[in-house]
């Protein structure tokens, strides 16, 4: 019988067994936040993550500049993309975590495949890079962030933005072939159809 592979003296399968409950607990906290069971106050972890989607269809679009307060007090400049409602087809999120004695471990979440997209309400994505093909309907460019009327409004909390700062809004937006790097994602509700959450050895990111 082939022995279980080891890396740096740590058995990978045993490590995964230890890690999965903590990941599940984190996911449970996220669900509780989405359901309003916990106060939605957070600090950005200090690690960004990668996101890909085949298609995002959103209504009530707003985008504005802000900075997030990182855990430890550092400020991170971001562009906030917000939607009142969004449907996301074939979504993938990944983050690489360096683990002592093991090396890099990738936590990868996938959902919204098999013809049933992810559904979100009051979705906020704090990002610093976005590549996609985009179409906006009835767009207003150069409105004050605090004066917008189409989107869900400014998020607040640990996000800091100037209500008089530059923003753009649209009745709806469609983005295809999305590749982005983000620091935080939050939503009032987040329905993840076909959810798959995996821990993978090495760097196995969404892109």
**Token representation of residue 86:** 């969004």
The SS3 assignment for 23 reads helix
Distance CA 200, CA 107 (A): 6
- The string of pLDDT tens digits covering residues 7-49 is 444 454 444 444 444 444 444 444 444 444 433 334 567 789 9
Longest dimension (CA), the chain: 67
DSSP classification of residue 44: B
CA atoms within 13 A on the CB side of 96: 13
- The string of pLDDT tens digits covering residues 54-108 is 999 999 999 999 988 877 778 889 999 999 999 999 999 999 988 888 899 999 9
pTM above 0.85, yes or no: no
Distance CA 25, CA 189 (A): 18
The answer to whether residues 102 and 12 touch, using CB atoms and an 8 Å cutoff, is yes
């Amino acid at each position: 019988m082939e022995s279980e592979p080891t890396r740096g003296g740590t058995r990978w399968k045993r490590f995964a067994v230890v890690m999965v409950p903590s990941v599940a607990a984190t996911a449970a906290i996220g669900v509780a936040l989405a359901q309003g069971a916990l106060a939605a106050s957070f600090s950005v972890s200090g690690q960004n993550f990668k996101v890909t989607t085949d298609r995002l269809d959103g209504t009530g679009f707003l985008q504005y500049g802000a900075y997030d307060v990182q855990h430890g007090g550092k400020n991170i400049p971001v562009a906030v993309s917000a939607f009142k409602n969004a449907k996301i087809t074939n979504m993938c999120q990944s983050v690489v975590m360096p683990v002592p004695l093991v090396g890099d471990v990738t936590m990868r979440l996938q959902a919204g495949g098999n013809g049933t997209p992810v559904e979100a309400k009051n979705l906020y994505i704090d990002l610093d890079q976005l590549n996609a093909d985009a179409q906006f309907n009835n767009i207003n460019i150069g409105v004050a962030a605090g004066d917008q009327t189409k989107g869900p409004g400014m998020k607040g909390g640990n996000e800091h933005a100037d209500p008089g700062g530059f923003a753009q809004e649209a009745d709806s937006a469609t983005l295809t072939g999305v590749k982005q790097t983000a620091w935080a994602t939050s939503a009032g509700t987040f329905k993840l159809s076909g959810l798959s959450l995996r821990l993978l050895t090495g760097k196995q990111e969404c892109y």
